[in-house]
Structure 1
Amino acid sequence: MNIKAASWIGFIAARYVSRGRRNSPATVFSVLGIATGVLALIVIIAVMNGFQMGFIESILEISSGHLRVENFPAAEAGEDLQNRIRALPGVLSAVPFRETNVLMRGRLASSRGAVLRGLPPDALENDLTLAAKLEIEDGYFDLDYPNGIVLGAELARYLSVKAGDQVTILSISGGFSSFSDEEGGSLQYTVTGIFRCGYYEYDLGWAYINIDKAAELAPEGNKPILEIKLKDRWQDRRSMDSINGLLERTTPWGGEEIPVVVSWRDYNRAFFGALRTEKLMMFILVGLIFIVVGLNIFQAQRRTVLEKREEIGLLRALGASELAVRLIFVWDGLIIGFAGAGLGLVLGLFVAFHIPAFFTFLETLVNLFIGAANGIASLLGNDPSGSGEFSVFSPQVFYIKEIPSRIVPHEVILIFFFGFLSALVAAWFASLKASRTRPAEVLRYE
């Protein structure tokens, strides 16, 4: 099809949209329907990304790392191997740790189980991503202090301690059998700092001490693990190959267990798989709105074909081909799809980038209606004291300071094309009847 044919097809389609349906709201509803679908899907996926990526980043940056080298050797051999791994391309940091489960007791004799992770004193200096995740609310992240410990904020609150207070530790997996098995106060630890990362499980159940002190509490045979952070976590397979090659070139391990490299994909497979499935199902369920809008466009286009039957017959009599007539209505759908998806894209990105302000406005608006309803109820003699303020994500229920939002560009593009194609496909199928119009039958009595 040449440019001249395409121009007159587009011209007629534009006139159908702008003038031919002036008295019909179908076009406006179609555009608004697609815009609403794109807007809703962008905002919902952005908020879901915010929550999910927050969980994923907390797990990767605080707990598992991007790669782990298990059965890592201690002493000088481990330090030399750690330095060589740090020098590999793509490696951001490599920090050894020991981990054990303990019971902790605070000032009021309340006790709770916790994961005790031992780190080198310079861990935050070497692992900047970990340092960025841990917000120190009280004291300092000081693992050089004799018998110093850093607690999660919720764990400290549960134990009723603050920086400078002492906690008593009982190793579950070995070392001590009761809180009374203290030898020269070796089980007494001073809280040097309190951190908050925003992930409730870690804030309630994690604590950090010096890696050498963790070795004393760990069961016999417990070896350190090297946690590796990469510049790009999606390049984990390539880095695994480099590290495995380095381990193979290392001096034979003798009777010791050979170190094993584990990726974050394998270490957290079940949890990350569940998050991926949840996101996919939400995408599909919200995306059903495009099917409804597509059916609306399909019916509107079929009605237009019937209304424009005489005009179609005239075009066919003037030499327009079946494909050209059909493309007029496809162009019609293209204009509707592009306008609706474009409007939804702009509004969706605006709301997604201003999620906290949007929900604050929504809560204020709802609370105004609640206040007005309470005022009317009090005038009628009813007691409205039982109705509290409305909050979409109340901090009393959800462990968040504000609603997170993350925009993933390729997902936004995919949503835009879903909205655009829903109108285009609906118009293509609806135009089938227009292409079958016979000029002689239409114009016989004109």
Structure 2
Amino acid sequence: MESHLLSSLDQQYPLIRQLRAATPLYWSNSKNGPTDQGISYVGLTRADIQDASDRLARFAPYFVKAFPETAVTQGIIESPVVEISQMKHQLEAHFKCTISGHLMVKLDSQLPISGSIKARGGIYEVLVHAERIAVKAGLISYGEDYSKLFSPAVRQLLGQYTIAVGSTGNLGLSIGIMSAKLGFSVTVHMSADARQWKKDLLRERGVEVIEYQDDYGVAVENGRRQAASDPSCIFIDDENSKHLFLGYSVAGERLKQQFAEQGLIVDAEHPLVVYLPCGVGGGPGGVAFGLKMAFGDHVHCVFAEPTHSPCMLLGVMTGLHDGISVIDIGLDNVTEADGLAVGRASGFVGKAMEHLLGGFYTVEDTELYQMLALLKESEGFFLEPSALAGMSGPTWFHDASEQVKALHVDPANITHLVWATGGGMVPAVEKTEYLSKAKASLV
């Protein structure tokens, strides 16, 4: 980006100077508005979410057969939501503030099959393509028992097609595992920040992994190029896919049901504030869309990004979306949060969701490890660094904050929900290293 344009942006958006300094900050999204108005920008409806939910239900018998660990939930891929009151005390002590109300965590780190939020969107999109191909070939019809898709005939059919994706790690993991299980050939283009164990695990499942010494954008572009040159190749586009987005969005109604079962109220007097780690934006964007559809104006969605990779904040704030990169303002896009190491946000998600997001904040890598240490010590949960980005979110909504004052409710009535996006498949050796680094971060 040319220097005169950057200078103009600096003057128009003074916050860019703070972003450039890579210091933690909170930005209240001035474009946020009533849900019924904001939804109109998305281009998707409640019926689209229901269609996605129905498809996942059709595949439930298949999951029970192909992934026995899903039998306990009758083939439904879902994660628990639990209260973490001891962690709330830790946050209050660490940040020297008071956080009233409930503090909950949505443990997508425990989602079966791939252990991250990507088990929602990534797996769902693979199912969309598998179903379309199998129905067209006459191997299944919509009213049948989908467990019959777990067969050599289906694997032989799908083996004629290749699934390609570019990923920093977890999306590639979910798509690779699911595609290989169904019988697709799979190629995952991995960016430089992707963890080695994720590449190794994919290769063990028969997935082709192509590594790059560049960032996420280069990996995605190469995946897109592969698909363009091969008619039998299906490219799953993390930047623009509505299928991915809808897979994530099903989480909204499911959370609403979980809250109802636990007696948690969400209404005008009892708002819900949700803190979502954000990389390119598909996962948190889809979940936020589903939450808005489920709870309307009573839910406030906040995105959390690394101080060195605040691509969605930058894109939404300036209105440039995927037309600007964090590199353009002098940041290096280097972070320990591998899943969030994205320099340029999804233009589709930014434009779709900019009127539905309450705000954004940035978090330093050191704080990710501090949150890991405190969570493990207080509640016994392990998350990978990327997934901890949302954990300090409630400290921006402490009782005396401007954010809470703007809600015009008793702080004790707020439910804070941290979306824990991944970590369920991290190997023991990696866990030990993460925890050692986390413990050292508190000294």
The structure having more radius of gyration, on CA atoms, is 1
TM-score by length of 2: 0.21
TM-score by length of 1: 0.21
